[in-house]
Structure 1
Amino acid sequence: MSKLPADRTLDPIGSQSDLSTLRSQRRRAGLKLVCFRVEGEHYAVSIERVKRITDLSGAYGLLSTGNSLMDSNGENITLINLHALVHGSAQPRLQASQNSAHNAAPQPYVIVCYTANRQLMGIAVEQMPAIHAVPEAALQPLPDLYRQSLSSDCVKALVRLPSALAGQPDLLYLNLDRLG
């Protein structure tokens, strides 16, 4: 098997194309975001950083920060208290609910994400997340006054959803590397 030069790659049907062409196509296609809600706030993360979405079950090792651990497919994952990290208040996180005739609340989910150094972290969410493709222009800078009131720099930008998704709230785009 012959190797391709560093600036060349194979497209799905086997012909060579420039990486710059592929990058350009990706820019036009935009970003794919996993969108979710935690304690009334709407957030988004890049789908490229999501490993899986699973049920929230078996959390243990609760810390005073609200962070805890869970076992998912044999991997220990730190569940972060997103609300506390973004807003600085350690409100209680979601707890797995028991589905029964008396309690019909759906069981929460966990978005398992990678940090930059490939560690896994989990974000407990209230509903099954949605996936939206948005143009890169949908990412807007945070207003200075809002950014200054955040407890950390874990929010990277504001996502203004396109008109095709009218009625959906703006999203806070998370910087996963600042959450871990």
Structure 2
Amino acid sequence: MRPPASNGQLLIVSAPSGAGKTSLIKTLLDTTPGLSVSVSHTTRPRRPGEVDGENYFFVDPATFAQMVAAGAFLEHAVVFGNCYGTARASVMAALAAGLDVVLELDWQGARRIRSLFPHTLSVFIVPPSTAALRARLEHRQQDDAATIERRMAAAAAEMAHQDEYDYVVMNDTFAQAQAALSAIVRAARLRVHR
């Protein structure tokens, strides 16, 4: 499946938890016209400060299962015991409107989207080291020690797939990582064959 050339383009951004992908995507959206982000559906509890429909669409497990059965998702997965899905209708509508759409996905979701849309651009964000990643997770103060250990194990598994992506960006300093991500988007928009 490939959107017509006049339509927008898909950009997958993946990273282990704590690598800074959400902050990088937010800044990219704030500084790049014609770019939108796909808001995923999830069954996980809302965190303090999160807004339904902005950060995620928060749904109960039964609703999520109904959406899966109805084919409402381009991809969906279970991560840390919670379901996440990318809504087909909203992504296709944004592409048809000529917007480039950012999908914040894990490697499994990225693989699924690339199977549906082979011309999708993909970027993997890496931390400068595992020690730096651990420090970031601890600094966030969102998780207990056991959860941080699970996230570190998941990070190793996620990073094992970085070679499946078109680009790898190290988030050592935020400004440099942001500049690299912006340059990738600008270059992709200049490609003759999208």
TM norm. shorter chain > 0.5: no
* TM-score, length-scaled by structure 2: 0.27
* Greater strand content: 1
* TM-score, length-scaled by structure 1: 0.28
